[in-house]
Amino acid sequence: MSVALGTTRPLPVRTTPVGDPGDLLASLPRSAPYAWIRHGEGLVGWGEAARVAVPPGPHRFAWAREWLADILGEAHVDDAVNTPGSGPVAFGSFTFDESSPGSVLTVPQAILARRGGRAWLTTIGDTPLETFTPIRDPGHISYGDGSLTAPEWEHVVARAAARIRDGELEKVVLARDLLATAEHPIDIRLLLTRLAHRYPDCYTFSVAGLVGATPELLIRRTGQEIESLVLAGTTPRGSSAADDLARGAALFASEKDRHEHECAIASVRQTLAPLCASLHTPDEPELLVLPNVQHLASHVVGRLADGASVLDVVAAMHPTAAVGGTPTATAIDVIRELEGMDRAGYAGPVGWIDAHGDGEWGIALRSGLISGRRARLFAGGGIMGNSDPASELAEAQAKFRVMQYALEG
């Protein structure tokens, strides 16, 4: 555990209203930036007032909740804004696999936020804040195979599809990685700026070196109200407007993709129903059109029954069928056996939580782990019994393009 201001005394926290800060990302210093941005709104943070490595294991979310209660619950807070995301906030990233190390929670030293026409600044302690430094381009980017080559991954997809046809499971989500090396150290702020501008409908995030723009909102809690956006079923964008429309129509009519989406919705419904006094899931998905792909999407809304925090709901929901498979436990075993890599934070929960239990958490898709000049990019897709390995590879390649754009511009 690393706690910059110590756990023996409460964190001194002050939140004050500020004028419109403009581009939130433009305020970030170079080192350790934290971000959660959509359509120009959200939170950015820098510095570390408190940070902890969450131990792996089946009780990691409960452990994290207790740590947060100690750190945030005992803070001395002067909050003149009093809205979700004001006061002390922790940014977090949890690994996809509960047995993998790498989950982390951080309370930044400074948080700048904007939502609904209001903006505020939260500071913790009296240590001087870092100043802005110019953003540097990473220069030339070269790529190399990750854990598996493309043909090896296609073989894994074929093996998984055969096991589904044999009745072992209904669906499994398989991911692959791609390694990128830059000419100069990679400035996370440049990636965030490019992602936020090109993919404004996604949630652009940065937590402990995990950077990306995910279209998938795992859960948002505002008071007792919760919301989730379920994505399952994907097709690349077309080469023309007519091709684009045809691809969207084919996706909506696809038996394979509709079944994949129904599995994901059923998983979310089954998980959230025990936590909610009311829950609504749509009868039909809609098309979510992004710059690189189209998804089948469903908005799920509900009201919590017992005052659970957003992290409690995250613990109940992860992993969803959209990133694991159906049945989930069997799918996770197949992923561990066939995928040939540790996903780290990819497809795991990423987001923020405040002292009142409000927050927003997404699934870390379209993302990469950044360290110095190197980046490890991730992409994947849902495999069904009739999945074509070449088509699944093409879908993953389309998803890689999000982070490749962030690196190359």
Among all residues, which ones are annotated catalytic? 171, 216
Which residues fall within 8 angstroms of residue 398, CB to CB, at 6 or more apart? 236, 237, 292, 293
Which residues fall within 8 angstroms of residue 349, CB to CB, at 6 or more apart? 92, 93, 94, 218, 314, 318, 361, 362, 363, 364
Question: Where is 335: in which H helix or E strand?
Answer: helix 328-338
Phi, psi of 191 (to 5 degrees): -60, -45
Cis omega (within 30 of 0) on the bond before 282? Answer: no
Cα–Cα distance measured from residue 252 to residue 392, given in angstroms and rounded to the nearest whole number: 17
Are residues 138 and 115 in contact, defined by beta-carbon separation less than 8 angstroms? no
Number of H helices, E strands in the chain: 8, 23
- Interior/surface letters 331-357, b for 16+ CB within 10 angstroms, e for the rest: bbebbeebbbbbbbbbbbbbbbbbbbb
Question: Where is 128: in which H helix or E strand?
Answer: none
**Among 310, 314, 376, which Cα is nearest to 346's?**
376
Burial environment of residue 30 by CB neighbours within 10 A (0 to 12, 13 to 18, 19 or more):
middle
